[in-house]
Amino acid sequence: MNRVGIMVDLSHVGGNTSREAILESKKTEHPRNKSDEELRFIADHGGFIGVTMFPPFLKRGIEATVDDYVEAMDYIINLVGEDCVGYGTDFTQGYDKGFFDWITHDKGRHRRLTNFGTILNPEGIRTIGETPNLTAAMEKAGWSEGKIRKVLGENWLRNAMLKRQFLALLLAGVALPFCSQAADKPTIKIGYVEGWSDSVATTNVAANIIRNKLGYPVEMVPVAAGIMWQGVARGDLDATLSAWLPTTHEAYYTQFKDKVVDVAVNYPGAKIGLIVPDYVAAHSIADLNANKAAFQGRIVGIDAGAG
């Protein structure tokens, strides 16, 4: 799931499973209804917390109001910081008793798993259309505009954009905690081929974005093309932007395709072929063949193993 950018949802698992998933996962988690210890653990390991307003999980149950929901979010923010928390409704608007009977029974029709009793969203925000009341409640609670904007959407967008930026840059999945309060940010190792101008340029651009926009240290590792592919496949390198696909590096991709992730094209329309100085009267491979004596029948290529 990490390799393809899928968030791990810990909403309905126990404490041990939460901790094991967080330690195993290297990207953002989306937890709910955890202990203080688990919430801190999630934030410390780069997780993100969406706070539900499902009434049974608020302190006053179906008597809860939008103010109780704001209080619940404030409690978690005081534990982990406002950059790691987001508005998560868990709305079940428009569903009748039959729906809740189904979701509270094993496979919808066997033994009862839990009984929530009457379900009624918090007063003041019982429908999605009442969301402006949530903003008003946050203001009443003394929240700053910046804090409100973060929790209502900017934190979610930041997480989504970080994932999108990163996946657009890299060929292989890289472990990045997205919450800004993550304790230690790992060094990202990007393999490139020294002497290939495209490889040097794109790698430097990516490294600059990751350092300055995402805040991660980057090590650019010069290697031969074959070693570059092996490094990504083994995990010695986190990524490369120098994979010439689908043709030039086809053999490498065939060998390692089960161990790498082809995320995106970083240089659309790129071309590769033969070139000659402008003083050579040859405009096609046929012209070169007709004048092969002038070149001693040789074509000078780049380094061995380049593809």
Residue ranges with strand state E in the chain = 8-9, 29-30, 49-51, 85-87, 188-192, 218-222, 239-240
Give residue-wise pLDDT tens across range 40-75: 887 877 678 889 888 888 888 889 999 999 999 999
**pLDDT at residue 1 is higher than 60:** no
Q: Strand pairing of 29-30 and 8-9?
A: parallel
Residue type, 226: G
- Which whole number is the average pLDDT over 131-147? 95
pTM, two decimals, is 0.49
Residue type, 280: V
Give residue-wise pLDDT tens across range 194-221: 888 888 998 999 898 888 877 788 999 9
Q: What is the model's pLDDT at position 134?
A: 95
DSSP assignment, residue 269?
T
Give residue-wise pLDDT tens across range 3-16: 555 666 665 566 67
CA pair distance 19, 1, nearest whole angstrom: 17
Which structure tokens are listed for 92?
Answer: 């079940």
User: With helix as H, strand as E and coil as C, how does 237-260 read?
Assistant: CCEECCCCCCCCCHHHHHHHCCCC
